[in-house]
Amino acid sequence: MPESEAPIGKYMYCIIRCPEPRQFTNLGIGERGDVVHTVHFEDLAVVVSNSPMVEYESRRRSMMAHTLVLEEVMQEFIILPVRFGTVAPSTEAIQDKLLKRRFGEFHGLLQEMEGRVELGLKTFWYEDVIFQEIVDENPPIRRLRDGLMGRPSEETYYDRIRLGEMIEAAMWKRRDEDAEKILTPLRPLVRETRVNKVIMDRMVLNVAFLVDEARQAEFDAAVDKLDEEMGKRLIFKYVGPVPPYNFVNIVVTWED
């Protein structure tokens, strides 16, 4: 169904504890200029904007609009993020089938998140450094690589495949070792750790931490120290606080 013909519902961003109606400055998802506001049941609220009942694709512009709303709201409230692309059929559905039905669950989650923040860390090898380390520290790889030099590719096809497999295995071993070196001093400082899938060869670690706000400065200093110690081999990309996607992700269904 074209967006222009779709019935209007409520696009959902997050759940907060807020008894009074509120509006926010960031515009809602899409390009319609919809006002971001709250829908309430007792002291809980869902942050929403008007939206056609359509399926949103994970495009950068839409995901950025979703994230900007969360980032604004979390400046003032503890938030429970709702999965990207969730559209409610009506205000009444939000109140009756979500907030009323799951009232105790959401209060419990909000209490768990109180005074805590999500911080994200991604680390990457410098490509030339890691390959040189692997060659220098693995004589079989070095011998096979040297033996391929100057020989035609059609003659060395299977040896090149074997070399690639050996390098990949060595990289996974080194990745596990480096990841553990990073995580070991950080784990005692956090409530929870969520290690996510690495998404490229150079990536060593893709991890989220749930940290007490009172320990954030201590955690920041620990990351800075790791960067000082390992920065010649690794790039550290540290962000936060960010919406706690890795520790709370509200999934909604509207069936009775």
pLDDT score for 147: 66
Contact indicator for 233, 65 with CB cutoff of 8 Å: no
* Contacts of residue 145, Cβ cutoff 8 Å, sequence gap at least 6: 135, 163
| CA distance linking residue 189 with residue 24, whole number of Å | 34
pLDDT score for 3: 56
| CA distance linking residue 133 with residue 135, whole number of Å | 6
pLDDT score for 256: 61
pTM of the model: 0.80
For the chain, 256 residues long, the average pLDDT of each consecutive 10-residue run is 69 92 88 85 93 83 90 92 90 91 92 92 88 79 70 71 78 89 95 90 92 94 93 91 87 75
- Sheet of 192-195: strand order equals 192-195, 203-212, 116-125, 234-242
Q: At what angle do helices 139-148 and 157-186 cross, to 10 degrees?
A: 150
Structural domains in the chain, sorted by start: 3-114 (no CATH), 117-242 (3.30.70)
pLDDT in tens, 150-180: 676 666 777 777 777 787 788 888 889 999 9
pLDDT score for 38: 93
| CA distance linking residue 182 with residue 184, whole number of Å | 6
* Contacts of residue 185, Cβ cutoff 8 Å, sequence gap at least 6: 222, 225, 226
pLDDT score for 180: 93
